[in-house]
Chain A
């Protein structure tokens, strides 16, 4: 039994925790990829979309004559042509019973509610011919007044959807007194107004664009018994459900495949008009068709993220102990309620109180429609907004009390011996250790030294000031317990599915219902299964992203894949072991009760007899010698529905240099210590943290979707929507503490969104900290040099504040100086 011996030797070195290089890489680094746009099928036609240039209009007429006559054009379809089969883009989460939800047709029939909405589809033999012909479609619009600003929308003077009679989509509240998880927020605020501290701020969460690197693409082949759709999506299973629910195609007649998918970040957590339009045209023509968007189309048509105004009232005692937080949130859904849509801000409801112990809490949300691109999940979805608000407020409170912002946090946070802890919002956090993560982060950061440097620069009136930003975040992820989703009126469950097939020749197929698009699940799941079943890492093949191969799944978003999907894999493996035990006992002529499974071997207690998992697999496959009544299979399926969310946390520290004369900012150092419970693969975890950090930093410093007064997206390409480059960013210091989750057997917590949730307030806190002495207490994101400079100038103009002597800009002896500034400097 040589295999047994091999495994015994390996048993000392578990796969879980190993920095395995990814299985996925080989194909990706050699260009052997299967992006949707790579797919070519015999007779395939190509689509181009005709999109509304107006933010709000009715469609008077569409003349397709010229386009239809163009060379190579097979068909031109309007919404009218497709209306019987195109289905509708539904929302899964009407947040209240009274929610108003406009119909979202994939191809508009009579009314367009944002610029970029599809009004006609051209099918031609090449993508170029389709695009040429799209230019020839003549659409006559009657323009309507558009509502573009969130606060304007709240006035209901101009309506995004006149039929609805209001721009308000829904109102939703969480009140600690009402639900019995805390005190009365108004009482606490009133008391603080008399004898404590009240901090009132309004923060803006600007609109962002997910900007995954692979533009979305969909191929539909209607020529088989099942219609097959390949799509660049995070959610093949959800997509299949939505197609079946709205187009009249039975679910059993639809196969959806997510092949290689080039990033998502929530941006591909959608069932899109483009997918539905492509399906409808393929069915009309009976031919395979492909639609691949241009980047400019992604920007106007793929959903955006964030876009909130947050009105916040924090009440505290004089010493800085927080007594209450009241949140009044306005959220812009754009033109339509997207798949998660109005639920995104709701996901933040439990997170404004973060890691802190408040007496009272209230969260009031109103969702509004505007005539802009729809808004849905973007990395973090609701939780970055909440984290930003509370972490900014804690800094404001510290400034008011006059203590170090870390001290205010320490005074208010849940201590490590208080877990499990039920918060004022009603969530029960299973585990964590904020003190440990903070201590480690401060040490790696050199917190005290940097504070000392900050003090020196302040005292010397250095034109380049240093600021330190803190973000001691937590988040709830691992979406989600089905019962909670049901209570919140969400339209689906939050379980996840897995199957394990033990192949005759010793290898193992693991089928997972999650749908990775860069997260390295094939590698991480292989590590888990290798440990569980005692088979080599290389022997495990992870299959996903195809409803025919992985028939059940809830897909990948909300940092759920490992904590929910990984646990389903663990449970399937447990079932395999239990089934295999019966076969092993029979083959070893022992009682099942005497069989022990360890490191890939079934042994008999008190003997040296044993049989390996692959040996049991092949014995099961032949079926020659099985116990009576036992089926010849040790394969197993499992579906896992979590009891609770996952609550990773961490301490992020950021040092920013601010040039007070130009407003330019420069990141000096960024340290984060995240506690995500047990780590399966540290290499993959680091990668997730790094990527998340930069997306969060980008919100703080560079990114923002901007519209002009006509409702045209002016940041409609990568020229104007400024993603960070390698030259804009720095290398990070990342580390971990480990407080295993108690809600799954591996002890894991989500990590996909953590960096993005934590980093934004750390950066802005650092910038504000650098210039607070000039009377600045807020700067709108993105904190461009212009905004930083203006904030400083405005603060300085307040009498008595921020006065200082003019200083030379550059240090002597530093090259590449502006000659004028240099001579001024030398004179000084």
Chain B
């Protein structure tokens, strides 16, 4: 067993883990962060995507011990003060989810796409989400939601600048 110190969704944890434990297993089984889910065993589907120090990672592809000393944000830590993140809001508005299983990973990846490119084209969004599979939506409304979120985030940041 190895001791790790990790901050997850703003709370710091200190735990003993088996070295082989995947970050996603630690989140789900160790911390009860079941909002983050597992969809495959080959790192293809992206359902388990979280942010590690602000950058998206597939948490099935990171060992828990690799998160030692780092900060993890999951879908459960995205909304702040009861306010949905603009990407969450846009997913709701645009009907970008059906069964909702891919949604946590898809939202976390969409945040990452927008962080790196606040004004992406449709093609850039499509390429940015390529590592996240969805079987329900045909991606149409997911792309739309990310476009809408980009608009909402840029107008709120321009408001912040002007105020």
User: Hey, which bits of chain A sit against chain B, CB under 8 A?
Assistant: 21-22, 24-33, 35, 37-38, 40, 128, 211-215, 260-263, 265, 294-296, 517-520, 683-684, 686-688, 690-695, 717-719, 723-727, 729, 731-732, 755
Inter-chain contact A26/B92, CB cutoff 8 Å: yes
* Among A25, A128, A212, A725, contact of B130 (Cβ-Cβ < 8 Å): A725
Report 11 cross-chain contacts, Cβ distance below 8 Å, ordered by A residue: A35-B34, A38-B28, A213-B135, A214-B101, A260-B99, A265-B135, A686-B95, A695-B135, A718-B45, A727-B130, A729-B139
* Among B41, B92, B140, contact of A29 (Cβ-Cβ < 8 Å): B92
> How far apart sit A707 and B76, CA to CA, in the bound complex (Å)?
40
* Among A26, A37, A295, A694, contact of B139 (Cβ-Cβ < 8 Å): A694
Residues of B within 8 A of A38 (CB): 28, 34
Apart from A213-B134, A686-B141, A726-B127, what 13 extra A-B contacts exist at CB < 8 Å? Answer: A21-B92, A31-B33, A35-B101, A212-B101, A213-B133, A213-B136, A260-B100, A295-B45, A520-B98, A683-B95, A691-B135, A691-B137, A725-B133
Inter-chain contact B100/A718, CB cutoff 8 Å: no
The answer to whether B69 has its CB under 8 Å from any CB of chain A is: no
Residues of B within 8 A of A25 (CB): 91-92, 97, 100
> How far apart sit A692 and B42, CA to CA, in the bound complex (Å)?
25
Within 8 A of A (CB), among B100-135: 100-104, 107, 122, 125-127, 129-135
* Among B88, B104, B126, contact of A726 (Cβ-Cβ < 8 Å): B126
Residues of B within 8 A of A28 (CB): 97, 100, 103
Instruction: Give the Cβ gap from A756 to chain B, nearest Cβ, in Å.
Output: 10
Inter-chain contact A296/B103, CB cutoff 8 Å: no
Within 8 A of A (CB), among B31-73: 32-42, 44-45, 47
Inter-chain contact B100/A690, CB cutoff 8 Å: no
* Among A30, A261, A518, A726, contact of B79 (Cβ-Cβ < 8 Å): A30
> How far apart sit A24 and B95, CA to CA, in the bound complex (Å)?
11
Instruction: Give the Cβ gap from B43 to chain A, nearest Cβ, in Å.
Output: 9
Instruction: Give the Cβ gap from B33 to chain A, nearest Cβ, in Å.
Output: 8
* Among A686, A687, A725, A732, contact of B129 (Cβ-Cβ < 8 Å): A725
Inter-chain contact A687/B95, CB cutoff 8 Å: yes
> How far apart sit A654 and B84, CA to CA, in the bound complex (Å)?
38
Known A30-B84, A687-B136, A731-B140: A517·B99 in contact at CB below 8 Å: yes
Inter-chain contact B41/A262, CB cutoff 8 Å: no
* Chain B residue nearest in CB terms to A725: B130
Residues of B within 8 A of A213 (CB): 39, 45, 47, 99, 101-102, 133-136
Instruction: Give the Cβ gap from A457 to chain B, nearest Cβ, in Å.
Output: 23
User: Hey, which bits of chain B sit against chain A, CB under 8 A?
Assistant: 18, 20, 28, 32-42, 44-45, 47, 74-76, 78-79, 84, 88, 91-93, 95, 97-104, 107, 122, 125-127, 129-144
Inter-chain contact A718/B133, CB cutoff 8 Å: yes
> How far apart sit A694 and B42, CA to CA, in the bound complex (Å)?
22
> How far apart sit A718 and B98, CA to CA, in the bound complex (Å)?
21
Inter-chain contact B35/A687, CB cutoff 8 Å: no
Inter-chain contact B39/A731, CB cutoff 8 Å: no
Residues of A within 8 A of B32 (CB): 40
Residues of A within 8 A of B74 (CB): 31
Known A25-B91, A518-B98, A519-B98: A726·B40 in contact at CB below 8 Å: no
Inter-chain contact B100/A691, CB cutoff 8 Å: no
* Among A22, A692, A693, A717, contact of B41 (Cβ-Cβ < 8 Å): A717
Inter-chain contact B36/A31, CB cutoff 8 Å: yes
Inter-chain contact A214/B138, CB cutoff 8 Å: no
Known A29-B107, A30-B88, A732-B138: A24·B100 in contact at CB below 8 Å: yes
> How far apart sit A211 and B138, CA to CA, in the bound complex (Å)?
13
Which are the 5 A-B pairs with shortest beta-carbon distances? A31-B35, A28-B100, A262-B101, A518-B99, A694-B138
* Chain B residue nearest in CB terms to A19: B95
* Among B42, B98, B143, contact of A263 (Cβ-Cβ < 8 Å): B98
* Among A686, A727, A732, contact of B127 (Cβ-Cβ < 8 Å): A727
* Chain A residue nearest in CB terms to B20: A128
> How far apart sit A229 and B122, CA to CA, in the bound complex (Å)?
43
Residues of B within 8 A of A693 (CB): 138
Inter-chain contact A723/B133, CB cutoff 8 Å: yes
Known A261-B99, A517-B99: A719·B141 in contact at CB below 8 Å: no
Inter-chain contact B40/A29, CB cutoff 8 Å: no
Instruction: Give the Cβ gap from A640 to chain B, nearest Cβ, in Å.
Output: 25
Residue of B44, B93, B127 contacting most chain A CB atoms (<10 Å)? B44
* Chain B residue nearest in CB terms to A692: B138
* Chain A residue nearest in CB terms to B37: A35
Residues of A within 8 A of B138 (CB): 690-695, 729, 732, 755
Residues of B within 8 A of A520 (CB): 98
Instruction: Give the Cβ gap from B156 to chain A, nearest Cβ, in Å.
Output: 18
> How far apart sit A635 and B84, CA to CA, in the bound complex (Å)?
37
Inter-chain contact A691/B42, CB cutoff 8 Å: no
> How far apart sit A37 and B24, CA to CA, in the bound complex (Å)?
13
Instruction: Give the Cβ gap from B152 to chain A, nearest Cβ, in Å.
Output: 15
Instruction: Give the Cβ gap from A134 to chain B, nearest Cβ, in Å.
Output: 15
Residues of A within 8 A of B101 (CB): 35, 212-214, 262-263
Inter-chain contact B98/A214, CB cutoff 8 Å: no
> How far apart sit A725 and B91, CA to CA, in the bound complex (Å)?
18
* Among A30, A33, A35, A684, contact of B95 (Cβ-Cβ < 8 Å): A684
